[in-house]
Amino acid sequence: MESSSSSNSATIINQSFDEFYSHHARESLDELSDYFTITDPSISGHPIVFASHAFLKMTGFTRDEVVGRSGGMFQGPATCRRSVMEIREAVREERECDVVLVNYRKDGTPFWVLISVCPVFSKRGGAVVHFVAVQVPLHRKRTRICYSDGFSHQVHHDFVFRCCRKEVCADSLAELGRVSSSGSQVLEHDVTELESEEPREASDVERRSAVTAMDNIFSVLTHYSELTGRLVSRKRCGIPDVGLLSSSLIISLGRIKQSFVLTNPHLPDMPIVYASDAFTKLTGYARNEVLGSNCRFLGGRNTDHSALHLIRESIKNEQPCTVRILNYRKDKSSFWNLLHISPVRNASGKVAYFVGVQIEDDYKNDEYRQCWRPDTRQLSVVGVVKVAVRSLSMSAGSSKT
């Protein structure tokens, strides 16, 4: 069961990259000497879908250890949380940002980096499909450290131990200073004070290096996206489609493990604008095969028309409903779907979306069904979706005032 889940996750990760770029894109990206990762905000956890060879060599991780995990795996006790929040805010607002913070290699050694984050937009509609994160290691800096013996020493380090909070910084230095990457003793004395606590700043040369790296990466991405016909761009082209979801909302929805879809009633034929990972696993359809389609593709020869009529009436009246309906997977196999549909209103009270929560009616799992009632699970999903949509619309409204 676990291996099947891992295989499904790997397939989703590969599809995220392959559906936009031809199969030679990975080779060309690996030929670059730049340190970078590419992430997908539409997948649960906003995981890394590509890591460059240079980046892997710098951090000591293998590609299998990195791909599929979030960028948080490189953070540690001395990583400035304020800088991390700056990155998250930029992702939420789908814009570029540059921050300096501390990351950690696989062997636990810390190092200062300039991280430059940039969204990758689809030219068809303007949705954010990926984020590129370039990392430029900052040069060594001479630091004065005062030891408990009262003497000051000038020491060169790959990492200047500074952070937003003095206590976090001192704890990190005391811990990391005991053992270097080779296992040798580095600092034998307790650190009592650092001469300066200001965060390290990137030089003009290092900032230009980040800009050049980003230019190189987008040159490869745009070229290989042309070969697939799914062109990407560094800038959003024109006004985005009304049906697009923001990266912030997609990331919030991605945390929900239940099978569900979000549809937009304000667009022609009420298409699906979000499908969860569990939905793709249940139905066998890839996300790109689902988005933009009406949910009727799940129906088939023996689907009850009275159930479909009930669904249409509930949508028309903007009321929730629950039905048991026969649906079909991509491989044509059928399953009984306990489907709950509910309107999702924004902060102003208007219906923004409809959420459809699917639970396979499998009587082989009677014990599971008794512990977790279907209606309880469905209402839980609906509640989380409503909070995410309302929170987003409220923050969007406040930003305009």
- Pick from 231, 210, 233, 287: nearest CA to 14: 287
Domain of 146 in residue numbering reads as 141-194
Strand order of the sheet with strand 152-157?
Answer: 152-157, 141-147, 191-194
Say yes or no: 14 and 161 in one domain. no
Instruction: Output the average pLDDT for the chain.
Output: 80
pLDDT tens digits along 229-268: 889 999 877 544 545 677 778 888 988 989 999 999 988 8
- Whether 392 maps to a domain, the answer reads yes
Phi, psi dihedral angles at 62 (to 5 degrees): -90, 165
Residues 134 and 145 in one domain: no
| pLDDT higher than threshold 90 for residue 220 | yes
pLDDT above 60 (res 309): yes
Beta-carbon neighbour count of residue 319 at 10 Å? 11
Number of domains in the chain: 3
CA distance 358 to 360: 7
Give 155's pLDDT tier (boundaries 50, 70, 90). very low
Look at the alpha carbons of 326, 328, 334, 336 in this order and tell me if their dihedral is positive or negative: negative
The DSSP line for 323-378 is: EEEEEE-TTS-EEEEEEEEEEEE-TTS-EEEEEEEEEE--GGGHHHHHHS-HHHHH
CA–CA distance, 140 with 200 (Å, rounded to integer): 10
Say yes or no to pLDDT of 180 above 70.
no
β-pair type (351-360, 260-263): antiparallel
61 and 208 share a domain? yes
Average pLDDT of the segment spanning 374-378: 82
Q: Is residue 241 part of a domain?
A: no
Q: How many whole angstroms separate alpha carbon 164 and alpha carbon 153?
A: 23
CATH of the domain at 313: 3.30.450.20
In this prediction, residue 159 carries a pLDDT of: 38
Is residue 300's pLDDT more than 50?
A: yes
Higher per-residue pLDDT: 186 or 316:
316
Q: How many helices and strands in the chain, by DSSP H and E?
A: 13, 14
Q: How confident is the model at residue 140 (pLDDT cuts 50, 70, 90)?
A: low
24 and 87: one domain?
Answer: yes
Are 119 and 62 in the same domain?
yes
Least confident of 70-84, 138-152, 177-191: 177-191
Regarding whether 292 and 358 lie in a shared domain, the answer is yes
**Range 120-143 average pLDDT:** 83
pLDDT classification of 168: cutoffs 50, 70, 90: very low
In a domain, 343, yes or no: yes
* Residue 185 covered by a domain: yes
- Decide if 206 is inside a domain: yes
Query: With bands split at pLDDT 50, 70 and 90, how would you rate the model's confidence at 4?
Result: low
Mean pLDDT of 214-243: 83
Instruction: Tell me whether residue 239 is in a domain.
Output: no
Cβ proximity of 334 and 300 under 8 Å = yes
Model confidence pLDDT, tens digit, residues 57-116: 999 999 999 999 999 999 999 999 999 999 988 888 888 999 999 999 999 999 999 999
The Cα 184–Cα 213 span in angstroms is 34
pLDDT at 112: 94
Same domain, 113 and 227: yes
Residues 285 and 298 in one domain: yes
Burial 353-367, CB ≥16 within 10 A → b, else e:
bbbbbbbebeeeeee
Task: Examine the domain organization and report whether 349 and 396 are in the same domain.
Answer: yes
Please check whether residues 121 and 157 belong to one and the same domain.
no
This model's pTM is above 0.75: no
Q: Are residues 287 and 176 in the same domain?
A: no
C-beta of residue 131 within 8 angstroms of C-beta of residue 195? no
Closest residue by Cα to residue 31 from 205, 215, 210, 220: 220
Q: Give the CA distances from residue 396 to residues 242, 299, 354, 401, in Å, rounded to whole numbers and listed in that order.
A: 15, 37, 20, 9
Does 172 lie in the same domain as 126? Answer: no
Please report where in the chains the tokens 């299998």 appear, as a residue: 64
Is 242 inside a domain boundary?
no
Residue 151 is classified by DSSP as -
pLDDT band at 349 (very low <50, low <70, confident <90, very high): confident
Q: pLDDT grade, residue 162 (50/70/90)? A: very low
